């Protein structure tokens, strides 16, 4: 990117700035963050971490006690200046966990409730487009109490979008839906993310959802932001690991497909000077993808592998060994700008005499890697 | 089958009860909304005042009205000297007495339905750009229609039976303030009034039945319209 392009990109970059302290009973929210947008910002943390409170404060539903919130340079709240924009004037679409559709209105009545109140904001998406994006064509005349949980959330999403919002807050939109039914909503969320360039704040305690949607992650617990950054940079962070569950520990790589072997359904991405091959049917060169390389799928070898079926052997530097459990260790393997995580047993560390700074080979089966389109 | 005086009492009962319900409606919605939605100092006192007619002997309520609104009472005197309006011993007086007595029923029913609206809907409406008045008319009011109708039916039925407050404040004047219960009372006072009393009692029972059936029908219709889920 040359200089002119860079300034252009920076000028168009909307930023959400939050600096606040908020006390309620014995709980204190103490947040300072600056998120680049557009894109999906995941506010991720366990139940009771303060996620929903923070989301409510951003929307103006809970008055800010101390600090400020700015969106794209505009102050939404500032306790020092005495500014508190009412929620009805913020233009922030909010999708609640429990949908909160109006029971006295039909589905289309709920949608029109929003589209009649756009005010002076520019209309960037039409009623018809929203209806078709969320697949609501056949539901429009229905009364809301006849809808399933997934359908309700799709209507709530459509309603929030028809406000022509300048930002969308999704407050655990899948939490109230049975796990198998979540698949009925998640693809729609992906579609919205790809279609609109408005910032989306996605509140969740499910890492799986975050992986599928978010580009930026803010980890929150006990009212504090513990880490914030691009998911691909944060995924190797020790602080995150205790919140995502052992099985999900791994390295998130965002990359562009640069070669496709159609015969074997293998695609590959270049990561610095190295190359990672993985299974992705029907992939196209130039696609942006996200690969979640799980720590349990990465093998460490101290010698260059020969005679193995493994398709990926990457020469790395072992930069960190940390104890995960009494008998297992998570090793961080750095190559160029990228790091992989590997879960190995303590006895393997001892037998291979692994030490920080050593050069090792990271072995990953291509078949165990799945690329997700971004 | 009914004597002209009884027919007059029947019509007057309907008129007085209906008028009292309509007069009460806007005030009852306002008070129910205040008590149901907000926490403010004096809320408990307001609530108590609303419910007072329910626990006081109706004669006492009628007497208090007479003290306040009678020609020698502070408000009644002012009304009379300024506008030549007399309330005590008139049809309007009977409407006021009935309204005061049935007011708590109405506030109760409306307040219950206001409290039954999930608070989240108001928040959702706020994020969708609706201001307070907009929210009241487009969200709260449509959702409390069942409560309002239930309150109106109960208050109307209670109004038909009001006796003590009406006879104390508005007296028992045939054609002006003599409602069905008052006519029944008059009939009982007369040695040959047994048949008349039975006719009036039967009429009252019929009216009561119709009221209950109307209420049930309305509740069923509304359930069909709104569904049972609160979403």
Q: In terms of DSSP H, where are the helices of chain A?
A: 3-11, 51-59, 107-115, 127-133, 149-161, 179-182, 186-195, 207-213, 231-234, 238-244, 346-351
| A34 lies within 8 A of chain B by CB | no
CA A1 to chain centroid: 25
Q: What is the mean pLDDT of chain A?
A: 88
- Which residue in A177, A149, A172 sits closest to A56, CA to CA? A172
| A159 lies within 8 A of chain B by CB | yes
CB A122 within 8 A of CB A165: no
Quick check: A13 pLDDT over 80?
A: no
How far is residue A206's CA from residue A204's CA, in Å, rounded to a whole number?
5
The pLDDT assigned to A14 comes to 61
Quick check: A5 pLDDT over 60?
A: no
For A61, the closest of B123, B130, B131 (CB atoms) is B123
Give per-residue pLDDT as tens, A215-261. Answer: 899 999 999 999 998 888 888 888 888 898 888 899 999 888 888 88
| B229 lies within 8 A of chain A by CB | yes
Element (H, E) at A270: strand A266-271
A39-44 and A216-221: which strand pairing? Answer: parallel
Interface subset of B 69-128, CB within 8 angstroms of A: 118, 120-121, 123-128
What percent of chain A stands above pLDDT 90? Answer: 56
Quick check: A93 pLDDT over 90?
A: yes
Domain ranges of chain B: 4-226
The pLDDT assigned to A7 comes to 44
DSSP β-bridge partners for residue A372: A290
Q: Which residues does chain A have within 8 Å of residue B139's beta carbon, measured at their own beta carbons?
A: 102, 104
Q: How sure is the predictor about A30, in pLDDT bands with cuts at 50, 70 and 90?
A: very high
Give per-residue pLDDT as tens, A177-214. Answer: 888 888 888 888 888 888 888 889 999 999 989 998 99
CA–CA min distance A140, chain B (Å): 16
Q: How sure is the predictor about A296, in pLDDT bands with cuts at 50, 70 and 90?
A: very high
Q: How sure is the predictor about A3, in pLDDT bands with cuts at 50, 70 and 90?
A: very low
Interface subset of A 280-319, CB within 8 angstroms of B: none
A-B contacts (CB, under 8 Å): 81
Domains in chain A (CATH in brackets) are: 3-234 (3.40.50.300), 252-373 (2.40.50.100)
Q: Torsion-angle region of residue B89: left (phi > 0), alpha (psi -120 to 50) or beta?
A: left
The pLDDT assigned to A8 comes to 44
CA–CA min distance B156, chain A (Å): 26
- Beta carbons of B128 and A117 less than 8 Å apart: yes
- Which residue in A195, A222, A235, A184 sits closest to A42, CA to CA? A235
Q: Give the nearest chain A residue to B143 (CA atoms).
A: A104
Q: Which residues does chain B have within 8 Å of residue A168's beta carbon, measured at their own beta carbons?
A: none
Q: Which residues does chain A have within 8 Å of residue B127's beta carbon, measured at their own beta carbons?
A: 59, 61, 87-88, 90, 92-94, 160, 163
Least confident of A157-161, A327-331, B211-215: B211-215
- State the average pLDDT over residues A281-301: 88
Give per-residue pLDDT as tens, A103-155. Answer: 999 999 999 999 999 988 999 999 999 999 999 999 999 999 999 999 999 99
* Topology of domain B4-226, CATH: MetI-like fold (1.10.3720)
Packing angle between helix B180-189 and helix B194-226, nearest 10 degrees?
160
The pLDDT assigned to A11 comes to 46
- Which residue in B113, B149, B145, B101 sits closest to B36, CA to CA? B113
The pLDDT assigned to B146 comes to 85
The pLDDT assigned to B88 comes to 87
Q: In terms of DSSP H, where are the helices of chain B?
A: 4-37, 43-55, 58-69, 74-83, 91-116, 119-127, 132-135, 141-160, 164-169, 180-189, 194-226
A39-44 and A66-71: which strand pairing? Answer: unpaired
Q: Length of chain A, please?
A: 374
CA B162 to chain centroid: 10
Interface subset of B 119-178, CB within 8 angstroms of A: 120-121, 123-131, 134, 138-139, 142-143
Residues of chain B with pLDDT under 70: 225-231
The pLDDT assigned to B226 comes to 67
Is ipTM beyond 0.85?
no
Quick check: A349 pLDDT over 60?
A: yes
For B120, the closest of A98, A118, A143 (CB atoms) is A98
The pLDDT assigned to B230 comes to 40
Q: How sure is the predictor about A1, in pLDDT bands with cuts at 50, 70 and 90?
A: very low
| A114 lies within 8 A of chain B by CB | yes
Indicate which of B126, B128, B132, B135 best probes the interface with A, i.e. most A CBs within 10 Å of its own CB: B128
**How is residue B139 annotated by DSSP?**
I
Q: Give the nearest chain A residue to B125 (CA atoms).
A: A88
Q: Which residues does chain B have within 8 Å of residue A60's beta carbon, measured at their own beta carbons?
A: 126
């Amino acid at each position: 990117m040359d200089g002119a392009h860079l300034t252009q990109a920076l000028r168009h970059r909307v930023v959400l700035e939050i600096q606040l302290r908020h006390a309620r009973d014995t709980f204190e929210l103490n947040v300072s963050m600056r998120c680049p947008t557009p894109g999906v910002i995941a506010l991720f943390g366990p139940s009771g971490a303060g996620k929903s409170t923070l989301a409510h404060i951003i929307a103006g539903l809970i008055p800010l006690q101390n600090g400020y919130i700015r969106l794209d340079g505009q102050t939404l709240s500032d306790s020092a200046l005495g500014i508190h924009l009412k929620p009805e004037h913020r233009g922030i679409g909010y999708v609640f966990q429990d949908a909160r559709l109006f029971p006295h209105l039909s589905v289309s009545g709920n949608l029109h409730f929003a589209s009649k109140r756009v005010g002076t904001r520019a209309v960037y998406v039409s009623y018809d487009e929203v209806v078709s994006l969320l697949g609501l064509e056949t539901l429009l005349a229905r009364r809301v109490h006849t809808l399933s949980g997934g359908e309700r959330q799709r209507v709530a999403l459509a309603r929030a979008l028809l406000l022509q919002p300048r930002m969308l807050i999704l407050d655990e939109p899948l939490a109230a839906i049975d796990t198998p039914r979540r698949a009925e909503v998640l693809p729609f969320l992906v579609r919205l993310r790809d279609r609109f360039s408005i910032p989306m704040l996605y509140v969740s305690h499910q890492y799986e959802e975050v992986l599928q949607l978010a580009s930026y992650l803010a980890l929150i617990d006990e009212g504090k932001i513990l880490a914030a950054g691009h998911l691909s940079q944060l995924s190797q962070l020790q602080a995150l690991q205790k919140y995502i569950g052992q099985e999900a520990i791994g390295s998130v790589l965002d990359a562009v497909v640069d070669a496709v072997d159609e015969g074997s359904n293998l695609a590959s991405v270049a990561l610095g000077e190295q190359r990672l091959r993985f299974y992705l049917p029907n992939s196209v060169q130039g696609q942006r993808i996200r690969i979640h390389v799980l720590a349990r799928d990465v093998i460490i070898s101290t010698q260059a592998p020969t005679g193995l079926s493994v398709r990926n052997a990457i020469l790395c530097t072992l930069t960190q060994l940390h104890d995960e459990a009494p008998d297992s260790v998570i090793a961080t393997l750095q190559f160029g700008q990228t790091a992989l995580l590997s879960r190995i047993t303590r006895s393997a560390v001892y037998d291979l005499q692994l030490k920080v700074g050593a050069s090792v080979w990271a072995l990953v089966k291509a078949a165990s890697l799945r690329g997700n389109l971004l | 089958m009914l004597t002209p005086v009884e027919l007059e009492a029947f019509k007057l009962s309907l008129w007085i009860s209906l008028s009292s319900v309509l007069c009460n409606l806007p005030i009852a919605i306002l008070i129910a909304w205040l008590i149901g939605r907000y926490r403010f100092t004096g809320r408990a006192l307001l609530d108590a005042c609303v419910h007072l007619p329910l626990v006081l002997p109706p004669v006492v309520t009628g007497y208090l009205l007479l003290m306040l609104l009678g020609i020698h009472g502070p408000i009644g005197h002012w009304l009379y000297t300024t506008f030549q309006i007399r309330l005590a011993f008139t049809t309007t007086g009977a409407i006021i007495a009935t309204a005061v007595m049935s007011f708590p029923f109405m506030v109760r029913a409306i307040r219950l339905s206001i409290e039954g609206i999930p608070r989240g809907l108001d928040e959702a409406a706020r994020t969708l750009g609706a201001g307070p008045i907009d929210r009241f008319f487009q969200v709260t009011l449509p959702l409390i229609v069942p409560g309002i109708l239930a309150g109106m039916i109960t208050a109307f039925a209670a109004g038909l039976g009001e006796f003590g407050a009406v006879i104390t404040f508005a007296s028992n004047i045939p054609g002006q303030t003599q409602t069905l219960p008052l006519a029944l009372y008059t009939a009982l006072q007369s040695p040959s009034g047994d048949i008349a009393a039975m006719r009036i009692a039967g009429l009252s029972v019929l009216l009561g039945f119709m009221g209950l059936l109307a209420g049930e029908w309305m509740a069923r219709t509304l359930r069909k319209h709104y569904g049972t889920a609160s979403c």
